[in-house]
Amino acid sequence: MKRLVILGAGTAGTMMANKFVATLSAKEWQITVIDRDDDHIYQPGLLFVPFGIYRPDEIVRPRKAQLHPSIQFVLDEVEAVDPNKKSVTLAKGEVISYDLLIIATGTRVRPEKTEGLTGEGWKKDAFDFYTFEGSSALAKRLDGFNKGKLIVDTFDMPIKCPVAPLEFILLADAFFTERGVRDDIELVFATPLDGAFTKPVASSVLGDMLSSRGIEIVTNFNTESVDGSARKVSSYDGRALDYDLLVTIPLHGGSEAIVKSGFGDPLGFVPTHKHTLQSEVSPDIFVIGDATNVPASKAGAVAHFQGEVLFENILRYLKGLPPLPEFDGHANCFIETGHGKAMLIDFNYNTQPLTGKFPLPGIGPFSLLKESEINHWGKLAFRWAYWNILLPGKELPLDHRMLMTGKWSA
């Protein structure tokens, strides 16, 4: 029997496993998914936990329960991959052979890589919200924060969900306004970019939104160190910012197993063809989601769009056909802006976010590059779609390509 092995039971790995279980013959193929724990976290929900919109227990479910019963779920840490032997070595010593490998190991935050961050003041005055533990701890700290200077600081790119830092500072503005303490709190958005976002058009719109709400933007701030005792964060260029509460987006990196395997890039991401999603390591290895080094957003919607292309290309590979260069870098992100509204941006490798309606041209119901209540409800409704449509591998009525009909430049 042949074996399809998938490393990672997050969004991308779970989705692909469930897609293939309905396609590959159970008599010919065993699908095996490997992950180090059984906690599947709805990562978009981590943003909402600090503000009390979601409880921590509302965003976690067992990984195994999201997989089709016929899929073998192995609970262990991946130690290394050997493309020559076509095998995966696990931390407990087991070696699993594969005929086809999908790497969906995601990305991880690495707060220990920044001098001083995990020292004095960590989880007291300095937090992250990209982990379950960090988001939960920050919820308790925000509950009693009524005065002082709050900095949201993105240390470097790439990061998971590049819009999340913006969403956090905008939700914080609304959160403190609704509590009647906004005038006593200084909000600062520090970024290594030269603007509010990676795409210039969206950066301009979002930068104006931050300024209009009295949020200071500190650009080109590349964090070097954190001094928890002095509550100060410093940049490589010598600038320093004082804080009372620091919300960090720490340095990110790929799986340690990829690093140990010797074929990752300097950050630990897998070299991947940006249009076919076939790895540059070996033709029988494909990569999806945050684990890739492709210049696309590391976000759940991107993994979904990649999944459509990857699914077809793997079927072509099994038939002896070359993969098709169909993935265009399509990203589609809701941006919570506070006060029950949100914005939506849609872009790809070559096209800036445009105005218009999504997904139906001229109809919507979602508006692009504009705040609206329906966009906010769309983001909240996605949680149901995530658990009931996306993860089970069912089809969402969205084209994986960025369609231009009904869109125009801002």
231 and 262: one domain?
Answer: no
168 and 211: one domain?
Answer: yes
Sorted by sequence, the CB contacts under 8 Å of residue 336 that are 6+ apart come out as: 47, 167, 170, 171, 342, 376, 379
Strand, helix or coil at 387? helix
Amino acid of residue 383 = R
Amino acid of residue 253 = G
**Which among 217, 243, 220, 216 is positioned nearest to 116, based on CA atoms?**
243
Sorted by sequence, the CB contacts under 8 Å of residue 173 that are 6+ apart come out as: 182, 187, 213, 214, 215, 338
258 and 277: one domain?
Answer: yes
pLDDT in tens, the chain (410 residues): 999 999 999 999 999 999 999 999 988 999 999 999 999 999 999 999 999 999 999 999 999 999 999 999 999 999 999 999 999 999 999 999 999 999 999 999 999 999 999 999 999 999 999 999 999 999 999 999 999 999 999 999 999 999 999 999 999 999 999 999 999 999 999 999 999 888 888 888 999 999 999 999 999 999 999 999 999 999 999 999 999 999 999 999 999 999 999 999 999 999 999 999 999 999 999 999 999 999 999 999 999 999 999 999 999 999 999 999 999 999 999 999 999 999 999 999 999 998 999 988 888 899 999 999 999 999 999 999 999 999 999 988 788 888 887 777 76
Residue 323 forms part of a structural domain? no
As a residue count, the chain comes to: 410
Sorted by sequence, the CB contacts under 8 Å of residue 180 that are 6+ apart come out as: none
CA–CA separation, 198 vs 195, rounded Å?
A: 7
Amino acid of residue 106 = G
CA atoms within 13 A on the CB side of 257: 24
Based on the structure, what is the number of domains in the chain?
3
Residue whose entry in the numeric block shows the structure tokens 């594969």: 98
Q: What is the pLDDT of residue 103?
A: 98
Contact present, 190 and 211 (Cβ < 8 Å): no
Residue 349 forms part of a structural domain? yes
Q: What is the pLDDT of residue 216?
A: 98
280 and 371: one domain?
Answer: no
CA–CA separation, 355 vs 338, rounded Å?
A: 20
120 and 235: one domain?
Answer: yes
Q: What is the pLDDT of residue 410?
A: 60
Structural domain range at position 372: 331-408
38 and 97: one domain?
Answer: yes
Contact present, 124 and 27 (Cβ < 8 Å): no
355 and 299: one domain?
Answer: no
116 and 244: one domain?
Answer: yes
- DSSP output for 113-145: GSBTTTSTTBTTTEEESSSHHHHHHHHHHHHT-
Q: What is the pLDDT of residue 128?
A: 98
Residue 326 forms part of a structural domain? no
244 and 127: one domain?
Answer: yes
Backbone angles phi, psi at 176, to 5 degrees: -75, -30
Residues 177-209, buried b or exposed e (16+ Cβ, 10 A)? eeeeebeebbbbbbbbbebbbbbebbbebbbeb
Residue 263 forms part of a structural domain? yes
162 and 231: one domain?
Answer: yes
- Which CATH number belongs to the domain containing residue 174 in this structure? 3.50.50.60
CA–CA separation, 379 vs 344, rounded Å?
A: 9
CA distances from 213 to 172, 186, 242, 316 (A): 11, 11, 21, 51
Q: Decide: pTM greater than 0.75.
A: yes
**Which among 248, 187, 186, 188 is positioned nearest to 218, based on CA atoms?**
188
Structure tokens given for 393 = 């591998």
Give residue-wise pLDDT tens across range 16-32. 999 999 999 988 999 99
Residue whose entry in the numeric block shows the structure tokens 């197993």: 257
Q: What is the pLDDT of residue 396?
A: 80
Q: What is the pLDDT of residue 28?
A: 95
CA–CA separation, 110 vs 51, rounded Å?
A: 24
Count H helices and E strands in the chain, helices first.
Answer: 7, 25
